[in-house]
């Protein structure tokens, strides 16, 4: 049985559809919306829904053999897992955003509000800019409006949240999408089954493109 951690929510439903189309269906997953674990012994798969930001932990610790996590989570937590496939869904970007008239003053330490502390540190270290990080857990866009920070580092998908709060992208950091990840030792012992799933999904993806 291959244990697969799916990110709960809209992205997870898209992810499950890709696994289903690839031949690893588990019909009971569509019937029950409070249950968290579903299995289909014929296909040898057991799916479970976890919080998107927790998928990498389940996979790194081996509670799941494989899972699907956003590249943002992989960059932020740097889990010790294999990244096997870019699913090309859940696409967005990690970006620096600020008020429309913002001009960076390089003489001053830049105050950056974010949920993504590690990504932020790495990015500003790479451009050699001194920063103070203000760690927030959500609604990051409020920080520059209230003067808590100069800029934010956050995910931008449609850009609506920024627009509606009179902010704009100042610099793009990294494109983000959903990735299939695998536990390193599971990949040794269940490599064949894992590779069969990844191969079928990849085939499905290229068929859909054509
Ligand atoms: C994310 C992100 C932005 C928003 C961007 O928030 O933090 O706020 O989506 O999407 P958009 O460009 O399409 O408007 P999320 O919904 O994950 O909630 P959060 O406030 O907890 O970060």
Q: What is the pLDDT of residues 107-120, one digit of tens each?
A: 999 999 999 999 99
Ligand 1 centroid to residue 155 C-alpha, Å: 6
Q: Ligand 1, from 9, 157, 159: best to mutate by most atoms within 8 Å of Cβ?
A: 157
CB of 161 shorter than 6 A to ligand 1: yes
Mean pLDDT of the chain: 96
Q: What distance in Å separates the CA atoms of residue 178 and residue 183, rounded to the nearest whole number?
A: 16
Instruction: Check pLDDT > 80 for residue 32.
Output: no
Instruction: Check pLDDT > 90 for residue 208.
Output: no
CB of 74 shorter than 6 A to ligand 1: no
Q: Which residues pair with 95 in a beta bridge?
A: 154, 172
Only one residue has tokens 């690839």, namely 22
Ligand 1 centroid to residue 193 C-alpha, Å: 35
Question: What's residue 113's pLDDT?
Answer: 98
Q: How confident is the model at residue 135 (pLDDT cuts 50, 70, 90)?
A: very high
Q: At what angle do helices 10-21 and 191-209 cross, to 10 degrees?
A: 100
CB of 101 shorter than 6 A to ligand 1: no
**Would the CA dihedral through 131, 129, 78, 69 be positive or negative?**
positive
Question: What's residue 33's pLDDT?
Answer: 76
Per DSSP, helices labelled H in 93-141 are 117-127
Question: What's residue 34's pLDDT?
Answer: 85
CB of 158 shorter than 6 A to ligand 1: yes
- What atom in ligand 1 is closest to the CA of residue 155? 2
The answer to whether 176 touches 92, Cβ cutoff 8 Å, is yes
Question: What's residue 35's pLDDT?
Answer: 86
Question: What's residue 45's pLDDT?
Answer: 96
Q: What values do phi and psi take at 122, rounded to 5?
A: -65, -40
Question: What's residue 205's pLDDT?
Answer: 94
Instruction: Check pLDDT > 80 for residue 210.
Output: no
Question: What's residue 159's pLDDT?
Answer: 97
Look at residue 50 and give its three-state secondary structure: strand
Q: How confident is the model at residue 30 (pLDDT cuts 50, 70, 90)?
A: confident
Ligand 1 centroid to residue 159 C-alpha, Å: 9
CB of 117 shorter than 6 A to ligand 1: no
- What atom in ligand 1 is closest to the CA of residue 141? 8
- What atom in ligand 1 is closest to the CA of residue 163? 14
Q: What distance in Å separates the CA atoms of residue 142 and residue 135, rounded to the nearest whole number?
A: 13
Q: How confident is the model at residue 121 (pLDDT cuts 50, 70, 90)?
A: very high
Q: What distance in Å separates the CA atoms of residue 144 and residue 99, rounded to the nearest whole number?
A: 7
Q: What is the pTM of this model?
A: 0.94
CB of 11 shorter than 6 A to ligand 1: no
Ligand 1 centroid to residue 43 C-alpha, Å: 36
Ligand 1 centroid to residue 87 C-alpha, Å: 20
Question: What's residue 31's pLDDT?
Answer: 84
Q: Which of 83, 24, 17 is nearest to 55 (CA)?
A: 83
58, two tokens: 């389940």
Residue 36 Cα distances to 30, 39, 49, 65, 81, angstroms:
11, 10, 5, 16, 23
Q: Which residues pair with 62 in a beta bridge?
A: none
The answer to whether 46 touches 38, Cβ cutoff 8 Å, is yes
The enclosing H or E element of 75 equals helix 71-77
């Amino acid at each position: 049985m291959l244990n697969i951690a799916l990110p709960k929510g809209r992205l997870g439903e898209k992810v499950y559809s890709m696994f289903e189309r690839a031949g690893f269906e588990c019909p009971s997953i569509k019937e029950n919306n409070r249950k968290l674990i579903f299995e289909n012994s014929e296909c040898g798969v057991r799916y479970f829904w976890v919080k998107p930001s927790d998928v990498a932990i389940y996979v790194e610790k081996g509670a799941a053999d494989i899972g699907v996590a956003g590249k943002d989570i992989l960059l932020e937590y740097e889990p010790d897992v294999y990244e096997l496939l870019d699913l090309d869904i859940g696409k967005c970007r990690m970006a620096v955003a600020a008020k429309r008239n913002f001009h960076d003053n390089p003489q001053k330490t830049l105050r950056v509000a974010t949920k993504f502390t590690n990504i932020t540190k790495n990015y500003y270290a790479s451009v050699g800019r001194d920063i103070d990080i203000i760690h927030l857990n959500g609604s990051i866009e409020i920080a520059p409006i209230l003067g808590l920070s100069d800029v934010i580092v956050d995910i931008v998908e449609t850009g609506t949240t920024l627009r509606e709060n009179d902010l704009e992208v100042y610099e793009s950091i990294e494109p983000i999408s959903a990735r299939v990840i695998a536990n390193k030792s599971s990949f040794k012992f269940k490599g064949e089954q894992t590779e069969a799933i990844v191969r079928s999904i990849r085939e499905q993806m290229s068929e859909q493109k054509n």
